[in-house]
Amino acid sequence: MNWIRISLWYFGFSLFLFFLGDLAFTKLIGLSDPYANEKRYRIKHSYYHHTFSKNYQGRRPWGIDEYYMCTDEHGFKVSCSQNTSSGNSFDIVFIGDSFTEAIGMPYENSFVGMFASNYPKLRVANLGVTSYSPSIYLNKIESTLSEGLRFNHVVVFIDISDIQDEAFYYRKASNGSIYTKSFKDKNQTLLFIQAKKFVKRNFHLFWYEHLRTKELVFDEDKGLKRRSEWTHNAKSEYYGELGVDGAVKKAVYNMTQLHELLLTNGIKLSVGVYPWPEQLKYFDNDENRQEKIWREFCDNRCEMFINVFPDFNDLVESIGVDETYNRFFIEGDVHFNKYGNEIIFRELKREYENLISVN
C-alpha cells in the first residue's frame, strides 16, 4: 500500500504547488482583487441605482483577458483615444445593459463604437451599463434630461435578461428611485460566502477553471439559462411572484413610460433586440417571443426596430449552433465578441440608412 501513500503525497504536493503558483501569479499581475479597478468606476446612483464614474481611465479584467475602459465627463463609455469633451448635446444616444456597454470589449469594438466611427458627423453617446433594464432605462433618461443634456434620438437595446431583472431585482421607492430587492440563499452560510470571496480574489486561475469546468463538464451553473429561458418557456419558475407574463408587463409598462417621456420632449425612440447563445437552439419559423413583444411595442412608437435575430437564424442554418457561438461570442460567455458586435452594427446601419433615406 506504500504506492497509494506515495501517490497521495505526490498529488497533495502537486496541488500545493499549483495553488502556491496561482497565488503568486494572481499577486504578481495585480489580480489580488481582479475587480479593484472596476469598483473605482462602477458606482452607485441615488436615482437610477448604478452608473459609471466620470472621467475614468483604466484596465478592466474579463475572464483571463483585459481591456481598457474609459468614460467621459458624464460617465458614458467612450473611446480611450477621445481627448475632447463630449458636450451636452447628442444626436443619438444608446442605452442597454452589458451588451450595449459591450463588456469585454474596448469602445472601438462595440457596435456603438462602430456606429459612431461610421457616422463621424453624428454626436453619439453610450449610456449602457451592465445590469440595466427598463426600470433603469426610464430613470436614467429622465435624470439625464433633468441635468440639462439634450439628444434627438434614443436607441434602446433591450436584453433578454431584462425580464428577469424586472421580475426579481429592481423596485421603485416612494420617491421614484430604483433599489434592489435583496435575496438570501439559505444554502450559502456566511462562512461559505467569505471562503468563496477569498478563493476568487487570491486564486484567479483556479477560479476561472472552476467556472469553465462547471459550464463545460458538469453544467451545474444554470443561472444564465434561467435568465434567458423565458423566451421559449413561458411557465419558467425562475421569475418570482410576477412570473414571466407579469415581468413582461412590467418591462413593457416602463418602456411605455419612457416613450411618453421622450414624446413630451420631442425625442425619437428606437428599439433593438438580439439573441443570447441559449436562443440559438430555439430558432424556428415563428418569431421568438423577445422579437414579438418588442416589435408589437414599436408599432406607432419607434423610428426603427433593429432585429438581429434573423441574422443569427441564417447563421445557425448555415454553419450550425456551435460554430455560430464559436465565431461570434466571447468564449465561455454569453456576450458578443468583436465579430458579433459587427453583426449588430450592420443591422443597425441598415435600419438607420433606411430611416434617413425616408426622412
Q: What does 161-219 look like in DSSP terms, one character per residue?
A: THHHIIIIIEEE-TTS-EEEPP---TTS-HHHHHHHHHHHHH-HHHHHHHHHHIIIII-
pLDDT at 354 over 50: yes
Average pLDDT, the chain: 85
pLDDT at position 269: 98
Report yes or no: 79 and 58 within 8 Å, Cβ to Cβ: no
How many whole angstroms separate alpha carbon 122 and alpha carbon 113? 12
pLDDT at position 231: 86
The mean pLDDT of 167-182, rounded to a whole number, is 89
How many degrees, rounded to 5, is the angle at CA 62 between CA 59 and CA 68? 25
In the numeric block, the cell 428599439 is attached to 271
pLDDT at 19 over 80: no
3-state secondary structure of 345: helix
Structure-block grid coordinates of residue 140:
436614467
The mean pLDDT of 121-150, rounded to a whole number, is 97
Phi/psi of residue 204, nearest 5 degrees: -65, -45
Q: How far is CA 335 from CA 112, 166, 329, in A?
A: 15, 20, 6
The mean pLDDT of 55-83, rounded to a whole number, is 88
What percentage of the chain carries pLDDT values higher than 70? 78
pLDDT at 225 over 70: no
User: What are the domain boundaries of the chain?
Assistant: 36-358
Phi/psi of residue 156, nearest 5 degrees: -100, 115
CA 224 to mean position of chain CA atoms: 12
CA 248 to mean position of chain CA atoms: 18
How many whole angstroms separate alpha carbon 201 and alpha carbon 272? 36
Q: What is the pLDDT of residues 316-351, one digit of tens each?
A: 999 999 999 999 999 888 999 999 999 999 999 999
Domain spanning 36-358: CATH superfamily: SGNH hydrolase (3.40.50.1110)
